Each structure stands twice: as C-alpha cells, then as structure tokens.
Amino acid sequence: MLQVSDLNSGYGPAQILFDVSLQVGAGEVVALLGRNGAGKSTTLKSIMGLTDRRKGKILFRGTDISQYPPFEIARLGLGYVPEDRRIFTDLTVAENLEVGRQKRRSTTTWSPERIYALFPNLADLRHKPGGQISGGEQQMLTIGRTLMGNPHLVLLDEPSEGIAPKIVEQMAEAIRLMTREGVAILLSEQNLPFARLISDRCYLLEKGEIRHAGTMADLETGSGHP
Amino acid sequence: MSVELYVVQFLTGLANAASLFLVACGLSLIFGVTRIVNFAHGAFYMLGAYLAYSLTIRWQTPVGFWLALLVAAAIVAVLGAVIEILLLRRLYRAPELLQLLATFGLTLMAEDAVRLIWGPEDLVGPRAAGLSGAMTVLGRPMPVYDFVLILLGPAVLGLLWLLLHRSRWGLLIRAATEDRDMVGALGVNQTWLFTGVFALGVFLAAFGGGLQIPRDAVSHVMDLSIITEVFVVVVIGGLGSLTGAFLAAIIVAELNAFGILILPGISLVLTFLIMALVLVLRPFGLLGKPLAQSRTLSHRIHGAWQPLGGVGRSAALAILICAALLPLVLGEYGLGVASEVLIAVIFAASLQFLMSVAGLDSFGHAAGLGLGAYGAALSVQHFGLSMEAALLIGPLASALFAAIAGWFCVRLSSIYFAMLTLAFAQIVWSIAFQWVEVTGGDNGIVGVWPSAWASGATAYYWLTLGCTTAVVLLTRHLTFSPFGYALRALRDSPLRAAAIGISRQPVQHAAFVISAFLAGLAGVLFAFLKGSVFPDTLGIGTSVDGLIMVLLGGFGTVSGSVAGAIVYKMASIWLISNTDFPRLILGGLIVLLVLVFPLGIVGTLQQALAGRLLAGNASVRGRT
C-alpha cells in the first residue's frame, strides 16, 4: 500500500527527517511512536506533500508520489487527518463533510449517512457550525471529512490528543470499524496504551530517525530490529 | 437645506455605493481565498469602463447597453485569469509585499496601455439606453439609472450569496477562505479554484467600472481613485466579508455624499477618519474575523545580519568618497538628479528600517516624507524661518504625527497595520489637498529655497550627501544596538520576545517614530531641492515608490535600500524624460523583477555569494 524509503524532509533550512523508511500493508494499522519533536507529524505531512522539501521515495499503490502536490496525493486515495483538526469553523458539520467528498473517485463506500452512523454524536450536529462543537466532536468530524474522500489509507496525526477518555474509546472503536472496511491506517501517537489497543505494528522515531521497527508485542519485550 | 435634498442626496449615495460594492466584494473575495491584496483591482475596474465605453457607443439599445457591460467585464475577466495563470500563480507563496508590488506594476502598465489604446483625454460615454430619463422624488429630479443601481447592489449581493452557499464551488471557496491548504489536502485542486475566484473578482470589478459610464467620464486616473476608496471599504467592512463590504460601501458612499453637502472642507478626511476609528475599535473591520494564516506559506526568513567587516567598511568608504567627488564630473542638472537620488536613499533607508528590522510593513510612508516637506515649506513661508531651522522642524513634524498615528497603528498587525498606515497617510494627503488657505491645495507651496550657503548645486549636493550618510549610519547602528535586537526579536517571534520581557507596542512605536523622523528629513531636503511642495509628495504613489525601492534593493538586507533607491530613482528619472510610456516600461520591469529576482539586488548578490561559499565548503569537505 505505502512504501516510504529514505525520506528526508524539513521546513526551510531546518531538516527534520533523516532517511526515514517505513511500510504500511493493505488493511494494516501501523503506529508511529516517539516523543514530542521526534518527527512523527513531519513524517505524515511529508507523505502528504505538505512540507517544503522532500527527498526520497514515497510509493503509494505503485505510484511515486514524492513530487506530487497534496491534492493529487489525496485524489490517489491517501487521506490526511491533521493533529490540530483544522475544521472549517464557519461551515456546518454537513458542509465540512461535503468539502471532503471527491467526485472523481468511483469507489463510493462512504456517505454522510455512514459517517453519522460511525460517529452518532455528529448526526445531531449536522447544521451546527464546525467552530461551535467540542474538541472530541471536531476530532470525529475531521476523520469523517477525510473518509468522505474514500481513502485507501488514512494518515492519522495524534487522534487521541486532547480529548476526553470516553471519546478516546469511541475513537478506537471507530478506527477498528474503519479497518474492517478495508482502510489502512498510519497513525502517530504518544499515547502508548491507545496505540497498543489498535495497532498491529509500530515504528519508533527519535530525532528524525527510525530507531525501532516491529510488532507492538516486540516493542514490549524489547525484541524486533532497529 | 430641505429634507427633500437630504433624501435625494441619500439616494444618490446609495447609487454610488453600487459600483463601490462590486469592486470591493471582488477584492474581498480574491483576498479571502488567495490572500493577495490585489492592487491591480482598480486597473481592472478602469479597463472594464474603457471597454464598456467602446462597446456601448456601438450598441446603443437597451439590451445592447447591458450586453456591452457584461461582454466588457467578461473580456477583462479572461485577461485577469491569464494574468493569474502567468504571474500570480508563481507568487502565492511569496511575501505579501512582493504580491502587492507585482500587482502595482500591473496597474502602472494598465494606465499607459489605456492611454496608448484610447488616448489621454477623458471620454464621456452614452447614457444608458432606455434609462436616460429622470424620475421625480419629492419634487426633485433623480436619474432613473440611479434607481437601477440602487437595486443592483443588493441583487448582486444576493446572487453571490447563492453562489457561495448553494453550490459546491462556493462551498470550496468558503472552505479555502478559512484554510486553503487543508482544502488541498482533501483533494481539491486549489490552482483552478484560485484562477476561478480571481476571474470572478475581476469580472465584478470590471462590471463595476462599466456601470459608471452613464454617470462619469472615463479616465486613466480612475484606477487609483477607486482603489483607495475600495481599500477603505474592505477594511471598514472586514476583509473577506461580502456583507461587510456591502455595508461599508454604503457607509463610505453616504459619507461622501453628505460630507460634500455638510462639511465640504473636510469631506475627504472624513472617510479616512471613520476607517481609522473602525480599525481602532474593531481591528478586523465591522464583520471581519481574525485572519487564519496560511500554514505552508513561506514566512520571511531573515538571515543573521552581521555588522560590516573590514572589507565591507573599506568598500563603503570608497563608495562614499566617489560620491563626494561627483561634483567634479557632474554639472548642475546632474547634481540635482544626484541629490534627488540621495534623498530617495534616505527615504528608502528609513522605510527599510521600519520594514526589515521592525517587521512593520507601512503603506503610508509618504506621510513621513510629505509632512517633513510641508513642515519645512510652512516654516519658511508662513513663519519666515531659515532652512537650518526647517531641517529640524520638518522631521519633528513627521515624528510628532507618527507618535500619534503610531499609537493606533502598532496595535494592529500585518495587512491591517498596512491599511491603517495607508489611511493615516491619506488623511494627511486630504488635509494638504483641501486646506487650501494654509497648504495652497493643489497649487502647493512654492518659493522654498535653501539658505545662501547651500543654494549652489554642489553645496546642496554635499549637504544631502552628509545627511544621507548620517541616516544610513544611524539605521545601521540602531539595527545592531540592543534596541535593534529587541525589534528583531519582536519581528521574528512576538510571543517569545514578550516572554523575555520585551513590551511590543512601546518598542515598535519608537521604531515607527524614528522611521518617520528620518523620512521627514528626506522630505525637507526634497522641498528645498525642488523649491516647492505639492500634495503628490504625500500621495500613495510616493509610498509605493518607497516600497519598490526597498523590495528592489532586497527586502531583509540592511544595505539593500541604498542600492534599490539608487537604481529605481535613476531608472524612473531616465524613463520619464526619455520615453513616451514610462509607466508601461517601469511596470513591466517591476513585474519582471518580482518574478526573476524576488530577493532584490542585494539579496540576490548575497545568495550568489553564499552559494559560492557553500560550494567551497562542500568541496573542502569532499576532500577530507
């Protein structure tokens, strides 16, 4: 599905990522772990084409997207859920979902109704402006907005950050439902229990380099390969 | 005055608001999505009017009139789309001042292009066929066409609202206005969204221009007059808000209509006073919101500056000595030009200090220069003071005004700061223009001559050179002083600067006043060089000249303004005296420079030097 090799990236003169390589298979949930500033978000942004400069190869379903602009990457079926949610605050919940719709993509699995089924909280809020709903609801909305584009793979940046524990559980449930629909997920997390709950494999990032790769179980026992 | 008169005047004001609203909402739409302040919007308005003029004199039927307006607007919209694709598309990630500069270059080109095609005279178009009659309102005649305009404004607002809220394209525009990069990450091709919005905005401006034909003569100065008013409208209404633009257009048009009636002396000042008031009370306009910064927008990155080393100092000294020896080779005319160039250097250096070091982009720096010039002229003409006294009074007048205006301005940031400085400069300009008893109005003040010892061309040149050297040295000194460090800290990260105990407003306020003082010195020298002062000195053109010199030399370099001022001033003086269409060439050069040398002269040189150094280091590293 996704194959990143020797990715170097950064903003302006500052290089953040050094030769990052990782893979995500079809239907897999892979976690990027690491502390603040390790380069997790930058990895996801670079895959999405949102950083200033990139070097290295990013193969997504057989296409090298390392030089593509974000909108073309999205059109290939790569969804991006940013850490700070970036809801359109003046648009209603329903309108936010509509912006995520991609008419050209034929595989129409997701519709507003299915999103509301996945996140029942959103259904009652559909005519409310995005700026007037809670943080947890915004987090659901931003995932729903990305799903509207029928992605094959979703890049989830810190989905559990800053939301209530009850909603975190709901989020984990939603992510499991998404994978059952065949959506692969690459998420960045600092919350290890949450990551363990949903991920198959993980990569450990430190100072912009991959320090560990393996299954979640390997991470606990200390095995796996650097 | 009777009630009837007031009613009729009110209705006329509403009719005037129609064109203003069309142009303003086009500008607002474009700004909302692309974050470009399109200075050329007035030029598109003018082109719309000229094209509509040519078409309406051919199609003089009721249908033909409206068809002509629509066709003219469509042609200009296509032109706008082409310009967006060829030029603006390359500038979306550039600093906003480069965008402003490029669109200003386009404005210059349009003015001469219009003169080339339609000639220099004002053109009076036909009345709107079928609507040329008058209706009687409370016993007073009122053109039928005005009633059409009164209805047209709300109709266009309604149509735009439908477009924005009932179509997918409108939905994407609204989303992109909030966060265009997120829209891109959701699979929307922003490129065509931007082109579409730009074309729509230009269409509205051009249509607004066509609408004016039955009411006003078409002229090649209508672009600058409308763009100032439109800036005021969008700032009062709130950038990016259509309803805000609608309300503000009515407010501004009514202020103009009643200002002439009730307070003819200060009618021009009134609008700008209201704008300043609105910005102080509601910094984002009546219905505007704080701007969400585009996140991938490349922020200005300032290199770490260093004081000149030994080589640099020797080079600067050599240049200074050559400059001091110029009277040996130049005649009287040449020295006059050289003095004017030096004055431009002072002006640019003072603006450079404000922009590069303090990070405050002023659109109203002309006020600094003009107040210095008027201060000098008035102290000589009205109070009989000497040139030496004027050399002090002029800059002090500028600094005093900057102390007052700056108190308001430093409360705002980025584009709103720029707009408020523009408003204050325009207030000063209107006073100079309208307060005829003191300033002589359009006729200016003449007979401002230097003291006997400085009246020779050589002596005056040396005086100017001395002042210029002092100003350049002072700005450099300030840049590398603790005060300069504080300013640069505030510029790069206001939050962190605050955290280490730097109070933003007083420090920036001080920079604003110093910069105005220095600009005022340039103004005094300019007044005595020319022997006269005119309101033009205070006009937008002067402010833009300053911006161009700074950007041309290299924004974010300490020495750039000197090079920029010399090159720009010499080029414009040469072009004005040697070509028939100087604006076309100058505008073209500006556009080309923005595209090819966005770093400016000194910036490009620095980059080339740094590149050589890097290459050198790399080869060294390769060997070890």
Residues of chain B falling short of pLDDT 70: 1, 265, 268, 291-304, 558, 611-624
Half-sphere exposure of B40 (CA within 13 A, CB side): 33
For B93, which residue in chain A has the nearest alpha carbon? Answer: A52
CB A75 to CB B187 under 8 A?
yes
Write phi, then psi, for B561 (nearest 5 degrees): -60, -35
User: Residue B298's pLDDT is what?
Assistant: 39
Nearest to A86 among B182, B188, B190 (CB): B182
In a domain, A69, yes or no: yes
- What pLDDT is stored for residue A53 in this prediction? 66
**Which of B186, B189, B298 lies closest to A99 in CB terms?**
B186
Given this model, what pLDDT does residue B92 score?
84
Which chain A residues touch B168 with a CB distance below 8 Å? 98
User: Which residue from B172, B185, B301 is facing A80, i.e. has the nearest CB?
Assistant: B185
Q: Are B55 and B264 in contact (CB under 8 A)?
A: no
B 293-312 near A (Cβ less than 8 A):
296, 298, 301
**Residue B178: which of A13, A69, A90 has the nearest Cβ?**
A90
Task: Tell me what pLDDT residue A224 has.
Answer: 55
Residue B493: half-sphere exposure toward Cβ, Cα within 13 Å: 6
Residue range A10-14: mean pLDDT, rounded: 81
The verdict on residue A137 lying in a domain is yes
- Residue B406's pLDDT is 92
A12·B183 Cβ contact <8 A: no
CA distance B18 to chain A (A): 27
Element (DSSP H or E) covering residue B135: strand B134-137
To test the contact with chain A by mutation, choose from B179, B186, B295 the residue with the greatest count of A C-beta atoms within 10 A, namely B186
What is the 8-class DSSP label of residue B303? Answer: P
Q: With beta carbons less than 8 A apart as the criterion, state whether B68 and B55 touch.
A: yes
Q: Which of A155, A203, A132 is nearest to A46 (CA)?
A: A155
CB-based contact B50:B86 (threshold 8 Å):
no
Residue whose structure tokens are 């969804």: A79
Q: Where are the beta strands (DSSP E) in chain A?
A: 2-11, 14-24, 29-33, 53-60, 63-64, 78-81, 153-157, 184-189, 201-206, 209-215
Q: Is residue A115 part of a domain?
A: yes
Predicted pLDDT of residue A57: 92
Find the distance separating the first CA and the last CA of chain B, reported in whole Å: 91
Minimal Cα–Cα distance from B183 to chain A, Å?
7
Q: Is residue A226 part of a domain?
A: no
pLDDT for residue B400: 96
**CB contact, 8 Å: B328 with chain A?**
no
pLDDT of residue A108: 62
Asked if the Cβ–Cβ distance from A71 to B185 is below 8 Å, we say: yes
For residue A160, is it within any domain? yes
Of B171, B172, B185, the CB nearest to A74: B185
Nearest to B175 among A48, A74, A88 (CB): A88
Structurally, chain A folds into a number of domains equal to: 1
DSSP SS3 for A209: strand
Residue A140 exposure: Cα atoms within 13 Å on the Cβ side: 29
Name, in order, each residue with C-beta under 8 angstroms of B324's C-beta and a sequence gap of 6 or more.
B462, B465
Contact B186/A at CB under 8 A: yes
Judge whether residue A12 has pLDDT over 90.
Answer: no
Q: Are B125 and B213 in contact (CB under 8 A)?
A: yes
Q: What CATH number did the domain enclosing A211 receive?
A: 3.40.50.300
d(CA B441, CA B438): 8
B621 has a chain A CB within 8 A of its CB: no
Whether the per-residue pLDDT at A52 is higher than 80: the answer is no
A206: containing domain: 2-221
* Chain-chain contact of A99 with B172 (C-beta, under 8 angstroms): yes
| Contact criterion met (CB < 8 Å) for B175 and A91 | yes
| Alpha carbon of B113: minimum distance to chain A alpha carbons (Å) | 37
Is A77's pLDDT higher than 70? yes
What are the two backbone dihedrals, phi and then psi, of residue B63, each rounded to the nearest 5 degrees? -70, -40
- What does the block give as tokens for B580? 């028939």
Question: What pLDDT score was predicted for residue A61?
Answer: 93
State both tokens at B423: 């408003």
* Cα separation, B112 vs B585, whole angstroms: 9
